[in-house]
Amino acid sequence: MTFEPGAPPENADDHVLAAWLADAAGRRLLEVREEGLTGRELKDAGDRAAHDLLMQLLAEHRPGDAVLSEEGKDDKRRLEAERVWIVDPLDGTREFSEPPRDDWAVHVALWSRGDLTAGAVAQPAIGETFSTADPPYVAPSTAARPRIAVSRTRPPAFVEALAEELGAELVPMGSAGVKVMSVVRDVSDAYVHAGGQYEWDNAAPVVVARAAGLYCSRVDGSPLRYNQDDVSLPDLIVCRVELAERIVAFVREHGVTGS
């Protein structure tokens, strides 16, 4: 039985539509995970099913907009478009293929005339969708010392030295979206990454984090820019505002070599 997304809420604005799209793709992915596939086959089936559904729903509900998807061909007409949806149909593909891991996500962001304007990150395995439609409230940190979320499979080497400097502990997990949402959810206080990533890996997480009042930038403190010709966006910081200055200062002094 294939999941049928139905229709979005009536007169859905871009924020509501982003949340609805991410949620729909997430439900589809939960279904794919029950089909008995494993390893590479499960990864490919998930990437494909979520991408196809998002492309179909965007064509139906926002037919005039351009789309940049990790799983699609990069149509450079997006560079002249006023509105571009930047989507990662399945972020944390590796973790998706390792049930019962729950650290994988669906990313849907909208870029419009120069910056991100709306977006959503669904974490289907925990039944949560975070979005700019209803920006999450970030409660005061519950941690005695800062927690830094890092990639579980490719943690950048410099983050260990940064953690030492801040007296922080590292919290490894999969998916860029899950790591950014871990800051929102008070599971961590910062996500610091370098060494490689693409616009779709962090666009939706960043627009949601910004709406939640978190600090977001490149590791050198410069702004994150989207819908660029080259979609590589290899490093970023998302953190509680009070940690930003020390993290940026550390990177400016020591760089990110070894990442």
Ligand X SMILES: Nc1ncnc2c1ncn2[C@@H]1O[C@H](COP(=O)(O)O)[C@@H](OP(=O)(O)O)[C@H]1O
Instruction: Name the site residues for ligand X (rule: CB under 6 A).
Output: 70, 88, 91-93, 151, 153-154, 174-176, 195-197, 201
Total residues contacting Mg ion by CB under 5 A comes to: 3
SS (H, E, C) 16-52: HHHHHHHHHHHHHHHHHCCCCCCHHHHHHHHHHHHHH
Half-sphere exposure of 144 (CA within 13 A, CB side): 0
88 is an interface residue for Mg ion by CB under 5 A: yes
Smallest gap from Cβ 62 to Mg ion, in A, equals 22
196: amino acid identity, one letter: G
Task: Measure the CA–CA gap between 42 and 24, rounded to whole angstroms.
Answer: 18
User: Which residue's CB is nearer to ligand X, number 121 or number 133?
Assistant: 121
Q: How far is the CB of 93 from Mg ion (least distance, A)?
A: 7
- Binding partner of residue 197 among ligand X, Mg ion, none, CB cut-off 5 to 8 Å per kind: ligand X
By CB under 5 A, which span of 47-55, 143-151, 201-209, 215-223 interacts with Mg ion?
Answer: 201-209
Q: Does 95 bind Mg ion (CB under 5 A)?
A: no
Binding status of residue 91 toward Mg ion by CB under 5 A: yes
Q: Tell which residue, 42, 46, 41, 6, has the closest CA to residue 28.
A: 46
133 vs 173 by CB, closer to ligand X: 173
In sequence order, what DSSP letters do the residues of 97-118 get, joined into one string?
Answer: TSTT----EEEEEEEETTEEEE
What is the smallest separation between the CB atom of 256 and ligand X, expressed in angstroms?
Answer: 11
Candidate list 103, 189, 201, 235; residue touching Mg ion; CB under 5 A: 201
> DSSP of 139-207, one letter per residue?
PPP--SS-EEEEESSS--THHHHHHHHHT-EEEEES-HHHHHHHHHTTS-SEEEE-S--BHHHHHHHHH
Which of Mg ion, ligand X, none is residue 174 near (CB under 5 to 8 Å by kind)? ligand X
133 or 239: CB nearest ligand X: 239
Closer residue to Mg ion in complex, CB, 43/62? 43
Least distance CB 107 / ligand X (angstroms): 8
* Contact (Cβ atoms closer than 8 angstroms) between residue 5 and residue 53: yes
Region for 13 from its dihedrals, namely left if φ exceeds 0, alpha if ψ lies in -120 to 50, beta otherwise: beta
CB of 157 to ligand X, least distance (A): 12
Q: Which is nearer to Mg ion, 91 or 102 (by Cβ)?
A: 91
Count CB neighbours of 11 within 10 A. Answer: 6
Q: Which residues bind Mg ion (CB under 5 A)?
A: 88, 91, 201
